Amino acid sequence: MGVLEDLADGLAKDTIEEADRLGREDLITEVAKQLGATSTTMEEAYLTSIRMRLAEKRARQFLENRVRQVENDDDS
Closest CA to 53 of 11, 4, 22: 11
Model-level pTM? 0.88
From first to last of its 76 residues, what are the pLDDT tens digits of the chain?
A: 799 999 999 999 999 999 999 999 999 999 999 999 999 999 999 999 999 999 999 999 999 999 999 999 888 7
Is the alpha carbon torsion for 53, 26, 44, 36 positive or negative? negative
Domain that holds residue 69: 3-75
The confidence score (pLDDT) of residue 76 equals 72
Using CA atoms, how far apart are residues 55 and 49, in angstroms rounded to an integer? 10
Q: How many domains does the chain have?
A: 1
Q: What is the DSSP letter of 12?
A: H
